Structure formats: structure tokens, C-alpha cells
């Protein structure tokens, strides 16, 4: 029993349950404390994200040696193909299913969260995408120039970041998730908004699982390994992503889960792929957004967009997904220009799109994070097929 209570999955689920219960009975003074603590914890997690990205990606690239550029190209390509494939799959499902759905969209009676008692801002040292680009360029340049000093510094920095992850980020995640669900429960989002879109949410969730099954099947077939060796370890990452609604904030737990999947996932591919995919592989969010824009179009404008328009939207959305930050709502926020420009949504359509996407964002994020394991399996298979030597990196998460 003690071992169970100390496990991360148990603490995450417990945080969700406790948060929902407290949110149903909490008064305004209690919620003042909840929203304040939630804000501060979120600031702490978000602050650590660029450090985690730099601490993992840059050292991993230097350890890949002359194969760094090749592996980066493979990673970006499979991330885009996965997102594009998920978008087209969602489009086909939308064409078939949406005309037969009857969806109610008006929800009333939601509570407003009380204001934050005091706002403690902890700005990031740099934006997430800046950290990602900096890590890539620094790692590649250090490899090209054979910069031994910088390589050593990056290795030491990685050890520092690992301590931050294990002693700061992971311990506060269950608390952050509890406060997040407490706020959602108090607002009434869980009890009132979710039933409004229940049909669409269920369809999209089924789509997530189908796409994940396909990704892991492809990953297992290509690498010649059993994908269940990876899937069985991804429960904590999935639950964390549901609670944080952020691939970036879930990064520490995702790394921990992927590390447990050795030797199916090579440790050097995990260190390189998982932080990278957390920011460029958003298949679940893309799948969600495509189905939702078609649903909103049917609700407000009477029909779904044409096939040609949707194909163009999917192709560009895959590109935008690579550049979207791995934070809550990152995909839909980055692609608002596509929604208004290509699909012609007005202010009402945009507002409804943001609302319905927010309901499903946590599960889309969970799909993103879990799918990263499948892509890392493909990277592992590619490295082994092309005789890229394994870099021994001892990391305990």
C-alpha cells in the first residue's frame, strides 16, 4: 500500500479526484487560495520548460556526433507526417460523421473564478520555441566545430536540469493538477460544459486511440520491437497531460516513462526525441482541431468546408503544429490565421472554436505526448538500421 501511495500515477489520479470534490464544495475564499497557488505552480513549471529543452536536446545532439543533422531531419519529417496524417484521418471522419450529428452548443450558469490574491510572475529565461531553436543550433554547431568545452558544459548542465526535474517539477505536478481540476469543478466546466459536446468529444477521443494504435503499429513494424513495451509505461505521462493540458509541462514525466521502455527505446533516442517531439509533434491536437472546425462550420454556417479547402487547411496546419508551442491551446492559437483566412470563420465561429477546443485540449495533449513514444521507436529503428552507434547516457528519472 505504501508503494502504491508513493507512485506517480496514484498521486496524479488522487489529485484529480480531490480537486474535483473540493471544487464542488469550495467557497470564494477557498478558491482565492486555489487560483493563486495554481498560478504560482504553473509559473514554476513553465519557467523550467526552456531549461529542460536546452538541458536535453542540445547535449543529445552533441552525442549523436556526425549523425545529428540526419536524425533531426528524420525527426521533423516523421512529426510532420504524423500530424498531417492525423489531420487527414480526422477530415475523412468528419465528412462521414458530422452531417449525421445533432449538437447543442449553448451553456449557461458557469461560475467565474475569483481573482488571484497576489500575482507572482516568474518569466521564462526565453520562450519555448526560442529554447528549442537555440538547443538545435547550439548542439549542431558544437558538433560541427567539435567544441569539446561546450560539449562538456552541456553534459554538466544536463545533470543539473535532471535534478531540477526530479526534485522540483515532478513533486509539484500532482499538486498543480489537483488545483487545476478544483478550478474546473468550481466553474462548472466539468459538470455543465462537457455534456454539451459529449458526442463530439467521444468521437475525437476514439480517433485519438485509433491514431495512437496506428502509430505504435508502424513504430513496432519498422523497428522490429514490441510496441506494448512502450505503451505500458506511458500511463503517468497520459494522466499528467490530461491534467496540465501542456506537452511542455508534461515533458519531465514523459521522459521518465520513456526511460522505462529501454531497450525498446534507445536512451540516446529518448533524450533527443522526447523533448523535441514535445514541441513539434501535436498529432492529437491537430486531429482534434480538424474535427472541431468542421463541426463548428456545420453548426454556424450549415455545411462543412469543401474537401479541397480542408486538404489545404490540413497541410498548412501540420506546418503550424511544428511551430506551435507545447502549452495549453498552443495549436489552435497558432492556427487562428488559418481558421479565419482559409475557412472564413467570423468572430462567433472563432470564439466557439476556442471554447470547444478547450474542452478537449487535455485529451489532445495526452495523445500528443503518448504518440511521441511511437515516433521515438521509429527513431530507434532508424538509428539501428543505419548503424548509428548508441551513446551511453546514464539518466535516472
- Of 356, 314, 315, residue with least CA distance to 93: 314
Helix or strand or coil: residue 109? coil
Q: 151: domain CATH number?
A: 1.10.3860
* Residue 95 forms part of a structural domain: yes
pLDDT of residue 145: 87
pLDDT of residue 48: 82
* Residue 394 forms part of a structural domain: no
* Residue 264 forms part of a structural domain: yes
* Residue 393 forms part of a structural domain: no
* Residue 397 forms part of a structural domain: no
pLDDT of residue 397: 40
| Residue ranges of the chain whose pLDDT lies below 70 | 1-9, 64-69, 102-110, 128-129, 189-197, 323-337, 347-349, 351-352, 354-356, 358-359, 390-397
- Of 369, 386, 281, residue with least CA distance to 71: 386
pLDDT of residue 194: 54
CA–CA separation, 112 and 63 (whole Å)? 50
* Residue 396 forms part of a structural domain: no
* Residue 133 forms part of a structural domain: yes
CA–CA separation, 381 and 387 (whole Å)? 10
The pLDDT tens digits of the residues spanning 146-193 come to 888 988 898 899 889 878 877 887 788 788 878 877 887 787 756 655
Full domain range(s) for residue 328: 8-386
pLDDT of residue 375: 92
- Of 208, 176, 166, residue with least CA distance to 45: 176
Cβ atoms of 230 and 216 within 8 Å: the answer is yes
pLDDT of residue 396: 41
The tally of domains found in the chain comes to 1
Contacts of 354 (CB under 8 A, 6+ apart): 329, 332
* Residue 2 forms part of a structural domain: no
pLDDT of residue 347: 57
pLDDT of residue 90: 93
pLDDT of residue 192: 58
Amino acid at each position: 500500500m505504501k508503494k502504491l501511495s508513493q507512485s506517480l500515477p496514484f498521486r496524479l489520479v488522487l489529485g484529480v479526484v480531490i480537486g474535483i470534490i473540493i471544487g464542488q464544495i469550495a467557497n470564494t475564499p477557498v478558491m482565492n487560495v486555489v487560483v493563486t497557488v495554481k498560478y504560482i505552480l504553473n509559473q514554476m513549471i513553465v519557467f523550467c520548460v526552456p531549461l529542460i529543452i536546452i538541458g536535453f536536446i542540445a547535449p543529445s545532439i552533441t552525442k549523436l556526433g556526425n549523425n545529428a543533422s540526419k536524425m533531426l531531419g528524420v525527426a521533423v519529417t516523421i512529426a510532420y507526417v504524423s500530424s498531417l496524417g492525423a489531420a487527414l484521418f480526422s477530415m475523412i471522419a468528419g465528412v462521414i460523421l458530422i452531417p449525421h450529428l445533432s449538437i447543442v452548443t449553448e451553456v449557461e450558469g458557469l461560475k467565474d473564478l475569483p481573482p488571484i490574491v497576489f500575482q507572482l510572475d516568474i518569466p521564462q529565461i526565453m520562450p519555448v520555441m526560442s529554447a528549442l531553436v537555440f538547443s538545435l543550433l547550439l548542439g549542431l554547431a558544437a558538433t560541427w566545430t567539435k567544441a569539446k568545452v561546450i560539449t562538456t558544459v552541456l553534459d554538466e548542465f544536463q545533470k543539473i536540469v535532471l535534478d531540477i526535474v526530479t526534485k522540483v517539477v515532478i513533486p509539484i505536478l500532482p499538486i498543480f493538477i489537483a488545483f487545476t481540476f478544483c478550478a474546473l469543478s468550481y466553474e462548472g466546466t466539468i459538470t455543465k460544459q462537457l455534456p454539451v459536446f459529449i458526442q463530439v468529444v467521444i468521437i475525437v477521443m476514439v480517433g485519438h486511440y485509433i491514431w495512437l494504435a496506428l502509430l505504435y503499429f508502424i513504430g513496432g513494424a519498422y523497428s522490429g520491437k514490441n510496441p506494448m513495451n512502450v505503451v505500458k509505461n506511458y500511463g503517468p505521462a497520459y494522466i499528467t497531460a490530461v491534467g496540465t493540458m501542456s506537452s511542455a509541462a508534461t515533458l519531465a514525466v514523459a521522459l521518465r516513462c520513456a526511460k522505462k521502455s529501454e531497450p525498446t527505446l534507445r536512451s540516446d533516442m529518448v533524450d533527443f526525441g522526447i523533448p523535441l517531439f514535445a514541441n513539434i509533434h501535436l498529432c492529437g491536437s491537430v486531429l482534434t482541431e480538424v474535427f472541431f472546425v468542421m463541426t463548428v462550420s456545420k453548426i454556424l454556417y450549415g455545411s462543412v468546408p469543401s474537401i479541397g479547402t480542408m486538404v489545404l487547411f490540413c497541410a498548412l496546419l501540420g506546418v503550424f503544429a511544428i511551430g506551435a508551442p507545447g502549452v495549453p491551446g498552443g495549436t489552435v492559437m497558432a492556427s487562428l490565421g488559418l481558421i479565419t483566412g482559409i475557412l472564413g470563420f467570423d468572430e462567433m465561429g472563432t470564439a466557439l472554436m476556442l471554447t470547444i477546443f478547450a474542452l478537449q485540449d487535455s485529451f489532445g495533449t495526452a495523445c500528443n505526448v503518448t504518440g511521441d513514444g511511437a515516433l521515438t521507436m521509429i527513431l530507434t529503428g532508424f538509428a539501428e538500421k543505419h548503424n548509428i552507434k548508441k551513446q551511453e547516457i546514464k539518466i535516472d528519472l
